[in-house]
Amino acid sequence: MRPWLRLLIVAWLAIGGALGLARENVAVDWVVLADLPREARQTLFLIKDGGPFPYSRDGVIFNNYEKRLPQRPRGYYREYTVKTPGSHGRGARRIVAGREQEYYYTNDHYRSFRRIRE
C-alpha cells in the first residue's frame, strides 16, 4: 500500500472516530434547578409525578433532530411544555426528559439546551 494512502486512511479513521465521539458527548451547559423559572420547576415536578399534563403533546417522543443532545435510540427522549406567561399556545420553552432520569431545559425551542442539576 502506498504511504500516502495509508496516511489518508489513518487520518480518515481518526477524524471519523473523533466526530462520532463528539456527537455522543455533546457539550451541554448546566442549570441549577433553583435558577429555572417557576413554571419549569412545576413542569419537572409533573414529569416526575407522572402528570397530569396541561398540553396534549406533553410526553411525545423528542427525536433530537437538531442533535444538540447526546444521541440515543428513538424513543429515549420525551418532551414537555413549560408554560410561558403571556404566550398564546405552547410557547418556546420545553423540558426534555431522558429515560435515565436526566432532564434538559430549553427556552428557545430546541436551539440550545441546559441540563438540569437538581
| CATH number, domain containing residue 101 | 3.10.450.30
Mean of pLDDT values over 108-118: 96
Single out the residue of 73, 53, 54 nearest to residue 63, CA to CA: 73
Does residue 8 form part of some domain?
no
Q: What is the pLDDT of residue 91?
A: 94
Please pick, among 66, 100, 109, 118, the residue that the annotation labels catalytic: 109
The domain in which residue 56 lies consists of 28-117
Please pick, among 66, 79, 88, 102, the residue that the annotation labels catalytic: 79
Does residue 80 form part of some domain?
yes
Does residue 51 form part of some domain?
yes
What's the total number of domains in the chain? Answer: 1
| pLDDT tens-digit readout, 3-43 | 766 666 666 555 554 444 444 556 689 999 999 999 999 99
Q: What is the pLDDT of residue 88?
A: 86
Does residue 13 form part of some domain?
no
88 is catalytic: no
